[in-house]
Structure 1
Amino acid sequence: MKFPPFARWGLAVLLLSGASSEAQPTAALAPLAYYELAPGTSRPTGWLGKQLEIMRDHSTGHLDETYPKLRDRNGWLGGTGDGWEETPYWLDGAVPLAHLLQDKPLLAKVQRYIDWAIANQRPSGYFGPLTKAEQQAGHLLDIRGTQGEDWWPRMVMLKVLQQHYQATHDNRIIPFLTKYFRYQLANLQAAPLGQWSEWSTVRGGDNLLVVYWLYRQTNEPFLRELGELIYQQTTPWTTYLGNRDWVMEAAANQTSAHWMNRHGVNVAMGLKLPVVYAQAHPDQPQLPQALRTGWQDIMTLHGLPSGMFSADEDLHGNLPTQGTELCAVVEAMYSLEQAAALTGDLTYLDALERIAYNALPTQTTDDYENRQYFQVANQVQVARGVFDFSLPFEHGMNNVFGQYAGYTCCTANMHQGWTKFATHLWYATPAKGLAALEYAPNTLTTTVNGNVPVAIKEDTAYPFGEEVSFVIDLKKPTAFPLVLRVPAWCPEATVLLNGQPLRTDGGGQLISIARTWRTHDRLTLRLPMVVRTSNWARNSRALERGPLVYALKITEQWQENRHADEGPYFTIIPGSPWNYGLPHAVVEGPTRTTTVAVKPLAASANDFYWNATNAPVTITVSGRRIPAWQLDAGVAPQPVTPRDGVYKGAVEAASETLTFIPYGCTKLRVVALPVIP
């Protein structure tokens, strides 16, 4: 069944809220704080549109043509090749990208995988690539129980199918998922999540998320029973996050004992489990509290200036020499996007913004063809080596930029980062309004207040600029609430309506503007961005302005190489000094000791800004070199400072002007600097 674009949001809210003309809930799930909008409801423009177009024209749009594991005899198309996680990972980003850009070739490409999965569902409900037994038999079998294979890659494909349904309302998806979940309920006792791999056990929250999503569509009672079973078989992330012993142990233990529970990507996925499960248990406040406690503890013990935690591969403390896996970045973003919708907690929205605008862009090349397995906070070179990682591959390829360097999971999984962020700029509200909870240039087309069509053009240079304008297009005056986020970093925001001051609000809150809107109304949110500093490991300091963290600009000298097993890759060596300290005067008065220069962003979407050459904002400040701060075993260990936070070693007498650019625009950088007298 096809629905016109304007009708999609109204139907989506009906479905997500659990209302149905054919069935009434036997036990309703807790109300959602916000409702997700379908991929494609908003159309990214400006710099974000350019980012997505680059992805479409390069690896995201063509990975199935260039990556042998996806290209050759793909198991998710019925072949005998790879049938594990990487094709679903790629689709998990390629499907929303196709809808965000309404790109017909990419839509047709991803549709093949969806159609094959649906057409080849077994009578029992099992789906996915041919099992080894089926390959030997030469035809499909009615797979049951232990005849199946790993649950984990199917969990990723469930998310793909959910997004496909949200965008298209393909009437095959609900029966397909219902049949598969009946299969799970019938077989999880004989073949539990951990039957084939521990990956399924630690990542069961992704499975549970789609089970509860489907329950909101169908009200099928068996889904509640299945949800309880999946939760019982999943790693107890609620206990780990809420009881605190786990996160402290993870800071101290780097052995092989229970390493899957410290694996950064698993942690990033597991974050959402308490609030996902809380949908079925709204009378248990300890569930959402577990995530609040766990997120604070993780960022306290393992947090890095980019907004992410160390994950190289395990949680590994907060020193700026630690690394973070790209898969952990995109999975943490997805968990925070879900936590925001489920709880409405501003903490997760602020955290999502910081990761998206700092950690995410730095870890891929401008053409979106190469990526780092591990990024490092203070990354003064990009080179082969084992460094200070908890997973030092013998190849020493974890830090270089390449298509396949390190584990290739990131080659396939990186595509969901920008695409899902773009689909979660906006949410719908229970009051039949809209909520702009993350800011980037886009145009939203949806409905409000009883299915009234509305288009909102979000015109902004954010996160580089401090003004966000919303221009509203309506066929008739319509009353609805518009919710805006005032980030915690903003001391005070100003809201203007059609150029006239409307209100001022302090930071760290969501504000609702409920009124009768008319076409051409312009609502402008001004978020003053002042320079500030933040404190990190060993009393180091980072410069911040608005949602962006700034890093010392280092001249980059790229070198291309080739590894026999992992293909072409790039290393980067510094072409300028990096071992500087930040004067204590900057910590005491960052606004009066720094100079900010902002370049206007081009009106067209033809410019790419996430690199050192095109960085739209620079901060200049005086600093002095620390001669003793040198590379040691390939990294730049943080100089030790006493309690007062001021480095006591020798410092050059001459001051130099230092240039800082957004962290996300760097490949080489020092972001956490020692403080000097």
Structure 2
Amino acid sequence: MCLWGETLHDRTNRAVVRLKGWPQAFSCSPKTMITRKEFLGSLVAIPAFEGLQHFNSGVSALAVSLLTSAEDSSAARAPHRALQSLAPGAVQPDGWLSLYLEKQAKQLSLHLPEVSWPFTRAYWAGEEQAESWWPWEQRGYWIDGALRCALVAGDQELLRVAQAPVDYTLHHSFPDGYLGPALCKNGKEEDPRTDNFRWPNTVFFRALAAKGEAANDPAIPAAMRKHYLSDNAPYGGPSRNVTNVEAMLWAYERTGDQRLLEMAGKAWASFLTSAEPGDYESGDLHPDRVFANTPINAHGVTYIEKAKLPAILYMYTGDKEYVRFALAAQKRIFDHHMLIDGIPSTTEDYRGVTALDSHETCCISDHTWTWGYLLMATGDGIWGDRIERACFNAGFGAIKKDWKAHQYFSSPNQVQATQNSNHAVLKHGNGWMSYRPNSGQEVACCGGNVHRIFPNYAIRMWMKDASGGLAATLYGPSQVKAEVGPAKHPVEIHEQTNYPFEEEIHFVFQSDKPVTFPWSFRVPGWSPNPRFYRNEKPIPLPPIKNGFARLDREFHPGDKITLVLPMKTALSQWPDNGVGVEHGPLVYSLPIKEEWSSLVEAKWSTLDFPEWSATAGSAWNYGLAAPEAKMQRKRMTEDPWVDPPVNLVVSLKQITGWELAASPKDPNHKFTPPLPKNTIDSAAAETELLALVPYGSTHLRVTIFPQVAAKPSSRG
């Protein structure tokens, strides 16, 4: 596969040839099988580009000296962290999760650089032509997501493609250590609140961190250390530049350079005083507003990317004011903006909670990423509950199930998704609700960020705790390899389950001898009466603290622990007399048969990856007539997000007059309508029993139903 074909000149005016091929040692025929250890080892065994110089000897020597006994030292530098995610590749997905990560790896993650701008250009690999920082942010999202997907799926071809810009950037630092494009190095805006020229580094440095962790490569944090300590950018101002605190602390943990910790603390403190209360551009994170629990006046990505920073700072400092601020910032989201599918309304700003309020796909990725840090900082299982709900519902609900397209905006109620059906206030009537390989086209952030959602879910399914134990934090079919206990004995745990479509989760422990270590597992808040078995025999559930139960015992090879999480059906109330149906971590929707049509636009899509519009091919205008629901199950299917093995049968009545809304400017432009105001006279007399399916298995759906009110009796 050809990555680049032209010759450029780098910032020192040396000719740089972008290679069409890769080192022969990295190639692998389809019939060649390698072990997962060999696959991860290929990250450091083979340089990405032949002929490029390695890191200069000063950085290499620094890396070796700073990172002796790196794992023990890094744990000591984050002593207040309750949980720590494992390196990408330690958790291997199985079952339906493996299926969808493989789809992602073979489809859009691999081919996006051939399909749509700016991913077709070499941003982070020598390209310098752009009006501002946007393309580096957008392609940086894709690089991070694609690299993580390759690592967890074990996909060599995608690894080769995604690793290329990472290695290019590392091998082409400025003389002072700066990592990134020349345009962003010196770029400035007149308004300091929008001087976001270091924001792309935050995005891209996550890819550096992923490779550094997976390959255990000390040169990467050493290079990031040099980048930050030589940089004079305004990290403490009101712009998104402050988000670099995340990477500063990652590098501090692995190098031990106290100056990075001090830089991060000063940047956050300066940011808090850099704008007035309620300031939109800076993210509305003034302490007066945060602790007053006001609705949020900010862009969703700006807010959530900054709101995670005090949680990270807490893990390294133990200052409880940091975590108090982080929790208060999240409370505003859940109290004022949360939608039924687990992600707040963010189009692109935080908005209301009606059936038509929607969210940007970037916010699915960024909110779940932030909640992972809250999980690590607090050790509270509620953040695992929230990540699962968001990924299983909003996450899967925003992608086409062949992993060849996705939406920019998605909504609990969307009865059509076309090139002019966007019903949000922002960009009303445009194509941001259609399914495209690059959903926002010229606003390509979601086109990159969607690739991060499910790899990060897989990476954070298992974490280690401060006592040398393991914690099952997010559920799904998987296996994990880790070292546990004071002796760091290797163990392997296979998580055998069809969760969230079934209630049983089996954990099978493997090691070469009996091993004693603490093992924790999350007990979701929606399952109040879980059951627990060891080798098929019921045993008492250990005490639950902060959403986790802990079992500290000797585990024998072949031991099988079974956790059963009973799921209950519940109704949730929403504005305009709306009601939603939930069962365990899944939200249920009325599926609408899609009638698909496609088109190809030069620069944005191709014949293999076109832009899709979906209109309704079945009736959707139903209200909920009764609160009862009957769960129906069948055997697990090959693809449960296409052919769900579960459904909920409910009583619905069709609502006369609840029809598509039309644009006043062009009656041919149709939109999903708001809930009807009156169902007493418009509901059909006949009740129909219809099956609702998991929200994530739909492309078109009704999730918030109007409640059908009974007609008042005519008797006196």
Q: TM-score, normalised by structure 2?
A: 0.80
Which residue is 2:155 aligned to? 103
Q: Distance in 2 between matches of 1:381 and 1:98?
A: 33
1:396 aligned residue (398, 419, 430): 430
Shift, 1:282, TM fit: 2.5
Shift, 1:284, TM fit: 3.4
Shift, 1:96, TM fit: 1.4
Q: Distance in 2 between matches of 1:516 and 1:534?
A: 43
Partner SS, residue 136 of structure 2: coil
Q: Give per-residue Cα distances to partners, 1:189-218, cap 9 Å, x unaligned.
A: xx5566xxx7xx23633x111211222222
Q: Give per-residue Cα distances to partners, 1:17-56, cap 9 Å, x unaligned.
A: 6459xxxx8xx55521101100000110100001011111
Matches within 5 A, 1:360-371: 360-371=395-406
Give the conservation status (yes or no) of the 8 Å contact 2:590–2:702.
yes
Shift, 1:104, TM fit: 2.4
Q: Distance in 2 between matches of 1:311 and 1:243?
A: 18
1:636 equivalent in alignment to 2:673: yes
Shift, 1:380, TM fit: 1.4
Which residue is 1:442 aligned to? 478
Which residue is 2:685 aligned to? 653
Give the conservation status (yes or no) of the 8 Å contact 1:242–1:293.
no
Q: Distance in 2 between matches of 1:145 and 1:381?
A: 41
1:79 equivalent in alignment to 2:127: yes
Task: Write the letter of the residue equivalent to 1:177.
Answer: M
Give the conservation status (yes or no) of the 8 Å contact 2:80–2:317.
no
Q: Give per-residue Cα distances to partners, 1:463-518, cap 9 Å, x unaligned.
A: 11111001111101010111011101112101100000112479872100111000
Shift, 1:666, TM fit: 0.8
Which residue is 1:256 aligned to? none
Which residue is 2:45 aligned to? none
1:580 aligned residue (599, 610, 622): 622
Q: Distance in 1 between matches of 2:558 and 2:37?
A: 23
Q: Distance in 2 between matches of 1:149 and 1:632?
A: 39
How many correspondences in the alignment?
615
Which residue is 1:420 aligned to? 456
Q: Give per-residue Cα distances to partners, 1:115-153, cap 9 Å, x unaligned.
A: 211211112121113449xxxxxxxxxx77979992111
Shift, 1:387, TM fit: 4.8
Which residue is 2:58 aligned to? none
Q: Distance in 1 between matches of 2:403 and 2:308?
A: 28
Which residue is 1:615 aligned to? 644
Q: Distance in 1 between matches of 2:393 and 2:40?
A: 36
1:54 aligned residue (94, 103, 113): 103
1:123 aligned residue (175, 186, 195): 175
Shift, 1:388, TM fit: 4.1
Shift, 1:383, TM fit: 2.5
2:564 aligned residue (490, 501, 526): 526
Distance 1:410 1:168, change over 3 A: same
2:704 aligned residue (664, 672, 675): 672
Which residue is 1:511 aligned to? 549
Q: Give per-residue Cα distances to partners, 1:407-443, cap 9 Å, x unaligned.
A: 2211111110000110000000111110001101011
Distance 1:268 1:649, change over 3 A: farther
Matches within 5 A, 1:252-651: 262-285=298-321, 287-385=322-420, 387-392=422-427, 396-406=430-440, 407-449=443-485, 450-504=487-541, 509-562=547-600, 566-567=604-605, 568-583=610-625, 585-586=626-627, 593-602=628-637, 607-611=638-642, 614-633=643-662, 634-640=671-677, 648-651=680-683
Partner SS, residue 289 of structure 1: helix
Which range is displaced more, 626-635 or 156-165?
626-635
Task: Write the letter of the residue equivalent to 2:435.
Answer: F
Give the conservation status (yes or no) of the 8 Å contact 2:571–2:579.
yes
Q: Distance in 1 between matches of 2:235 and 2:543?
A: 49
Distance 1:506 1:555, change over 3 A: farther
Shift, 1:169, TM fit: 1.3
Which residue is 2:206 aligned to? 159
Shift, 1:85, TM fit: 1.3
Which range is displaced more, 405-414 or 461-470?
405-414
Shift, 1:649, TM fit: 4.3
| Unmatched segments (≥5 aa) in structure 1 | 133-142, 251-261, 587-592, 642-646
Which range is displaced more, 411-420 or 207-216?
207-216
Matches within 5 A, 1:167-182: 167-182=214-229
Q: Distance in 2 between matches of 1:93 and 1:7?
A: 17
Task: Write the letter of the residue equivalent to 2:624.
Answer: L
> RMSD of the alignment, in Å?
2.9
Shift, 1:71, TM fit: 2.8
Shift, 1:552, TM fit: 0.9
Which range is displaced more, 237-246 or 91-100?
237-246
1:93 aligned residue (145, 148, 164): 145
Partner SS, residue 389 of structure 1: coil
Partner SS, residue 514 of structure 1: strand
Partner SS, residue 248 of structure 1: coil
Shift, 1:237, TM fit: 6.1
Shift, 1:562, TM fit: 4.6
Which range is displaced more, 476-485 or 593-602?
593-602
Distance 1:311 1:655, change over 3 A: same
Give the conservation status (yes or no) of the 8 Å contact 2:542–2:551.
no
Partner SS, residue 359 of structure 2: strand
Distance 1:565 1:329, change over 3 A: same
Give the conservation status (yes or no) of the 8 Å contact 2:236–2:268.
no
Partner SS, residue 261 of structure 2: helix
| Identity %, equivalent residues | 29
Give the conservation status (yes or no) of the 8 Å contact 2:198–2:240.
no
Distance 1:594 1:14, change over 3 A: farther
Q: Distance in 2 between matches of 1:332 and 1:13?
A: 34
1:36 aligned residue (85, 93, 97): 85
Give the conservation status (yes or no) of the 8 Å contact 1:492–1:505.
no
- Structure number with the higher helix fraction is 1
Distance 1:523 1:332, change over 3 A: same
Which range is displaced more, 110-119 or 145-154?
145-154
Shift, 1:455, TM fit: 0.8
Task: Write the letter of the residue equivalent to 1:447.
Answer: E
Give the conservation status (yes or no) of the 8 Å contact 2:347–2:360.
yes
Distance 1:550 1:108, change over 3 A: same
Shift, 1:290, TM fit: 2.9
Distance 1:154 1:403, change over 3 A: same
Q: Distance in 1 between matches of 2:71 and 2:422?
A: 47
Distance 1:7 1:386, change over 3 A: closer
Q: Give per-residue Cα distances to partners, 1:445-468, cap 9 Å, x unaligned.
A: 111112211111110000111110
Give the conservation status (yes or no) of the 8 Å contact 1:631–1:637.
no
Distance 1:208 1:354, change over 3 A: same
Shift, 1:539, TM fit: 3.4
| Unmatched segments (≥5 aa) in structure 2 | 1-35, 42-65, 190-194, 272-281, 663-670, 711-716
Q: Give per-residue Cα distances to partners, 1:601-647, cap 9 Å, x unaligned.
A: 25xxxx33223xx1121111121122132332412212347xxxxx5
Task: Write the letter of the residue equivalent to 1:268.
Answer: I
Shift, 1:246, TM fit: 7.3
Q: Which has the higher contact order (CA 8 A, sep 6+)?
A: 1
Q: Distance in 2 between matches of 1:560 and 1:385?
A: 13
